[in-house]
Amino acid sequence: MNARPRLVVVGGDAAGMSAASQARRRMGPEDLEIVALERGSHTSYSACGIPYLVGKTVPSPEDLIARTPAVFWRDHAIEARTGTEVTAIDTERREVTATGPGGAYTERYDRLVIATGARPYRPDLPGFDAYGVFGVQTLDDGTEVSAFLERHAPHRAVVVGGGYIGLEMAEAFLTRGLEVTVVDSGPEPMGTLDPDMGALVRGAMEEMGVAVRTGERATAVAVDGGRVRAVHTDAGGEYPADIVCLGLGVRPDDRLARDAGLEIGPTGGVKVDARMRTSVPDVWAAGDCVEVFHRVSRAPAAIALGTHANKQGRVAGIDIGGGYARFEGVVGTAVTKICAVEVARTGLNEAEAEAAGFAYETVVMTSDSRAGYYPGAQPMRLKLIAERDTGRLLGGQIVGRENAAKRIDVLATALWNGMDVLDMSGMDLGYAPPFSPVWDPVLIAARKLAERVHG
């Protein structure tokens, strides 16, 4: 009797376990054996919640875990092995080499999912490997930062990098009572925004008591007695620190796939088709390790987000299980909150639109998030970018307070469907004084931009 076909999943978080779960829904344990290999200590957890764990908004690491290995085995007959790192993939022999608690071994597969995620940028500079310098890519990283804060009670934190994770960690440290400095090499924090919108984020952070140092690149971490003491920059800055957090962004972790001979795209992510199939038969890839199709720029992109990872894993699992599904790309939507300030963006910013070859027009406006007479109305800044002549929406950005950021979903929907700003200006959006002015800011901005584009 032939052995059951075996699916091996490399990576036990969002994409990997979504793929495993979807494959199981379509093929029972008698038809498909599923083994997931995860190098960390946990499966299926919310990496996006790590800053809130550090800031104690989320009380416990267990609150971020959706399913444990025991639950996967009990409910889905999926064997998930944590503390097991895959070190090589042999696509000709159809086996992976892994190192686990019992040492090194090989695992055969008939079908393989690569979901190795992304790896953070960690500069090869003096002191960046010192005790007290942390990245926050995994839940283990988050618990390690929390333990350091409890054990050493630091007073001063320096965050290197002003992107989403960097600023969310700045908020976490601020919530814990630390003095916080953010060092970023760009002209303004939040480099995925245009500088004029990033300047609003900087101003809001400074009002909260965060020192923001832009246009400076960190060059070294000073260490004394085995502990970090300061971050030095190329502008001569020296910023005292008891703890340093790296928020310099991530890149697709394509190392296993590249060494195995899989095709890698221009972004550094594993190249896949819409069904998440790689260039090698019976090998799928999903999550932060792959490159995706950007529906606005029409070019490959590498965007690390749990929302995409879960969708891609679902598509891969359906395909493995004999069904049919497609991942139709992204428009680059992202939101975050830094203390009371909400930040959102979708599509292309001005630099990205220029790089993609678009001629464009923009409009920037300020409006209230609710009817002006309704208690709690807060100002919000909204920016839209549209293609010149055609009026097709290319992107949008929002910086505001409560009730502002989720308006980005209206813009993302318009982008997904290739809408013209003139059509957008007439959309039937919900209205009531607690939620919006009678003319929603999205409608006003779309109308103003339509007037500019179409005259």
Asked whether 233 and 217 are in contact (CB, 8 A), the reply is yes
One-letter amino acid for residue 208 of the chain = M
DSSP string, 211-229: EEEES--EEEEEEETTEEE
Determine the Cα–Cα distance for residues 219 and 251; give it in Å rounded to an integer.
20
Burial 168-207 (b: 16+ CB within 10 A, else e): bbbbbbbbbebbbbbbbbbebbbbbbbbebbbbbbebbee
Tokens of 71: 């639950």
The strand pair at 393-400 and 341-347 is best described as antiparallel
Establish whether 289 is a catalytic residue.
no
The angle that helices 195-208 and 164-175 make with each other, rounded to 10 degrees, is 10
Structure tokens at 134: 């942390």
d(CA 247, CA 212) in angstroms, rounded, equals: 14
Length of the chain: 455
Between 69-76 and 14-26, two packed helices, what is the crossing angle to 10 degrees?
A: 10
Set 48, 245, 289, 339: catalytic member: 48
E strand spans, 161-253: 179-184, 211-214, 218-224, 227-233, 238-240, 243-246, 250-252
Looking up tokens 């290995």 gives: 69
CA angle 265, 268, 271 (to 5 degrees): 35
CA distances from 426 to 3, 421, 423, 429 (A): 60, 9, 6, 9
Quick one: which of 7, 13, 16, 36 has its CA closest to 313?
16
CA distances from 414 to 294, 295, 353, 432 (A): 14, 12, 17, 22
The backbone torsions φ and ψ at residue 200, rounded to the nearest 5 degrees and listed phi first, read -65, -40
Catalytic residue numbers?
A: 48
